[in-house]
Amino acid sequence: MTESPALAIRDLRVSFGNGGNGGNGANGGDGGDIVRAVDGVTIDVRPGEIVAVVGESGSGKSVTSMSTLGLLPRTAEVSGSIQVGGVDVTTLDAGRLRAIRGAEVAMVFQEPMTALNPAFTVGWQVAEALRLHIEDMSKKQAYDRAAELLAMVGIRDARRRLDQFPHELSGGLRQRVMIAMAIACEPKVLIADEATTALDVTVQAEILDLLRDLRTRFGMAMLVITHNMGVVADIADRVVVMYQGKVVEQATVEDLFARPRADYTKKLLTSVPRLAPGQRRARTRAREQGEAPALALDNLVVEFRGKGGGTNRAVDEVSLTIGRGEVLGLVGESGSGKSTVGRTAIGLIKPASGAVRLLGEPLTGAKGRDLRRLRRRCSIVFQDPASSLDPRMTVGDCIAEPMVINKVGDRGDRDDRVAALLRSVKLDPAVRSRYPHELSGGQRQRIGIARAIALDPELIIADEPTSALDVSVQAAVLDLFLELQDRLGFACLFITHDLAVVGLVADRVAVMNSGRLVEEGPRDQVLFDPRQDYTRRLVAAAPVPDPAAQRERRAQRLSL
Amino acid sequence: MIRFLAKRFGQALVVIALVTVIVFLLLHSVPGGPARGILGPQATTEAIAAFNHEHGFDRSLPEQYWMYVSGLLRGDLGESYTLNQSVSSLIGQRIPKTLVLTGLSTLLALLIAIPLGVWQGRRRKGLADYAITTLVFIGYATPVFFLALILVIVFAEKIPILPVQAPQAETLAGLFADSRGLILPILAGAIASVAVFSRYMRSAVLDNLAEDYVRTARAKGASERRVVWLHIMRNSLTPIIAMLGYQLPVLFSGALITESVFNYPGMGLLFWNAAQTSDFPILLGSVLVIAVATVVGSLIADILQAFVDPRVRGAIT
Amino acid sequence: MTVSTPHVEAEHVPVAGPYRRMVKLFFANKLAVTGLIILALLLVFCFLGPLVHPTDQIHTQLADANLAPGTKGHPLGTDDVGRDVLGRLMIGGQTSLEIGIAAGLLATLIGTVWGAIAGYAGGWLDTVMMRVVDAGIAIPALFLLLVSATIFRPTVPVQIVIIGCVSWLVPARLVRAEALSLRSRDFVQAMKAMGGGHGRAVFRHIIPNAIGTVVVNATFQVADAILLIAYVSFLGLGVAPPATDWGAMLSKGISYTYDGYWWLIFPAGIAIVLVVSAFNCIGDGLRDSFEVRLQGR
Are the Cβ atoms of C191 and A473 closer than 8 angstroms?
Answer: no
Which of A94, A168, A309 lies at the smallest CB-CB distance from B3? A309
Note the pLDDT of residue A251: 93
Whether the per-residue pLDDT at C151 is higher than 60: the answer is: yes
Q: Report whether A251 contacts A455 (CB < 8 A).
A: no
Note the pLDDT of residue C10: 36
Instruction: For the sheet with A246-252, list strands across it.
Output: A105-108, A189-193, A221-226, A50-54, A238-243, A246-252
Whether the per-residue pLDDT at A237 is higher than 90: the answer is: yes
Whether the per-residue pLDDT at C69 is higher than 70: the answer is: yes
Note the pLDDT of residue A154: 87
Q: Report whether A251 contacts A233 (CB < 8 A).
A: no
Residue A476 forms contact with C (CB below 8 Å): yes
Note the pLDDT of residue A309: 59
Specify the higher pLDDT residue, C30 or A228: A228
Average of per-residue pLDDT across C13-18: 48
> What's the rounded Cα separation, in Å, for the pair B155 and B138?
20
Shortest CA distance to A527 belongs to which of A513, A516, A542, A547? A542
B→A contacts (Cβ < 8 Å), by residue, are 3, 124-125, 211-213, 215-224, 231, 234-235, 238, 309-311, 314-317
Whether the per-residue pLDDT at A400 is higher than 90: the answer is: yes
**Domain membership flag for residue A229:** yes
Note the pLDDT of residue A29: 37
CB pairs under 8 A between A and C: 135
**Domain membership flag for residue A495:** no
Name subunits touching A (3+ CB pairs < 8 A): B, C
Average of per-residue pLDDT across A36-44: 90
Homologous superfamily (CATH) for C19-53+84-295: MetI-like (1.10.3720.10)
Note the pLDDT of residue B241: 84
Residue C150 forms contact with B (CB below 8 Å): yes
Q: Which of B168-177, C115-124, C219-228 has the lowest mean pLDDT?
A: B168-177
Q: What percent of chain B has pLDDT over 70?
A: 93
**Residues A292-322 pLDDT 10s:** 889 999 999 998 876 555 678 889 999 999 9
**Residues A350-379 pLDDT 10s:** 899 999 998 888 887 777 778 888 888 899
What are the CA-CA distances from residue B54 to residues B25, B36, B51 (Å)?
20, 14, 5
**CATH 1.10.3720.10 is the classification of domain B87-316:** yes
Whether the per-residue pLDDT at A238 is higher than 90: the answer is: yes
**Domain membership flag for residue A212:** no
Residue A120 forms contact with B (CB below 8 Å): yes
Residues of chain C with Cβ-Cβ distance to A443 below 8 Å are: 9
Domain ranges of chain B: 2-73, 87-316
Note the pLDDT of residue A75: 80
CATH number at residue A2: 3.40.50.300
Residues of chain C with Cβ-Cβ distance to A436 below 8 Å are: 297
The sign of the CA dihedral B20, B247, C111, B258 is negative
Shortest CA distance to A389 belongs to which of B275, C187, C216? C187
Residues of chain B with Cβ-Cβ distance to C273 below 8 Å are: 138, 141-143, 146
Residues of chain A with Cβ-Cβ distance to B239 below 8 Å are: none
Whether the per-residue pLDDT at A52 is higher than 90: the answer is: yes
Shortest CA distance to A267 belongs to which of A225, A229, A226? A229
Whether the per-residue pLDDT at C295 is higher than 80: the answer is: no
CA distance A530 to chain C (A): 23
Whether the per-residue pLDDT at B64 is higher than 60: the answer is: yes
Whether the per-residue pLDDT at B284 is higher than 50: the answer is: yes
pTM across the whole model: 0.82
Shortest CA distance to A344 belongs to which of A390, A386, A296? A296
Note the pLDDT of residue A517: 93
> What's the rounded Cα separation, in Å, for the pair B117 and A235?
46
CA distance C141 to chain B (A): 7
Q: What percent of chain C has pLDDT over 70?
A: 91
Note the pLDDT of residue B315: 58
Could you write out the three-class secondary structure of B259-316?
HHHHCCCCHHHHHHHHHHCCCHHHHHHHHHHHHHHHHHHHHHHHHHHHHHCHHHHHHH
CA distance A128 to chain C (A): 32
When computed from its CA atoms, the radius of gyration of chain C, rounded to whole angstroms, is 24
pLDDT band at A30 (very low <50, low <70, confident <90, very high): very low
Q: What percent of chain C has pLDDT over 90?
A: 18
- Tell me, what DSSP letter sits at residue A34? P
Q: Report whether C160 contacts C101 (CB < 8 A).
A: no
What are the CA-CA distances from residue C120 to residues A392, A452, B208, C164 (Å)?
18, 24, 28, 23
Whether the per-residue pLDDT at A278 is higher than 70: the answer is: no
Average of per-residue pLDDT across A182-199: 90
CA distance C180 to chain B (A): 18
Specify the higher pLDDT residue, A477 or A310: A477
Bridge partners for A511 per DSSP: A331, A519
Average of per-residue pLDDT across B208-223: 89
CB pairs under 8 A between B and C: 143
Domain span holding position A265: 1-95+223-272+545-560
Note the pLDDT of residue B312: 66
Cis peptide before A47 (omega within 30 of 0): no
Note the pLDDT of residue C175: 92
Q: Of A194-208, A274-288, A362-376, which one has max mean pLDDT?
A: A194-208
Taking all residues of chain A, what is their mean pLDDT, rounded to a whole number?
87
Which of C3, C193, C196 lies at the smallest CB-CB distance from A346? C193
Q: At a CB cut-off of 8 Å and minimum separation 6, what does A139 contact? A: A127, A131
The residue count for chain C: 297
- Domain total for chain A? 1
Average of per-residue pLDDT across A87-106: 89
Which of B15, B141, B253 lies at the smallest CB-CB distance from C134? B15
CB pairs under 8 A between A and B: 85
Which of B220, B238, B309 lies at the smallest CB-CB distance from A132? B220
Average of per-residue pLDDT across A161-168: 89
Instruction: For the sheet with A7-16, list strands across it.
Output: A35-45, A7-16, A76-84, A87-88
**Candidates B133, B211, B213, B220, partner chain A, best to mutate (most A CBs within 10 A):** B220
Which of C11, C190, C295 lies at the smallest CB-CB distance from A442? C11
CA distance B305 to chain A (A): 12
What are the CA-CA distances from residue B41 to residues A33, A242, B54 (Å)?
73, 85, 19
Note the pLDDT of residue A510: 95
CA distance A21 to chain C (A): 7
Name subunits touching C (3+ CB pairs < 8 A): A, B
3-state secondary structure of A286: coil
Residue B29 forms contact with C (CB below 8 Å): yes
Residue A11 forms contact with C (CB below 8 Å): no
**Residues B220-259 pLDDT 10s:** 988 888 998 889 988 888 778 888 888 888 888 888 888 8
Specify the higher pLDDT residue, A384 or A280: A384
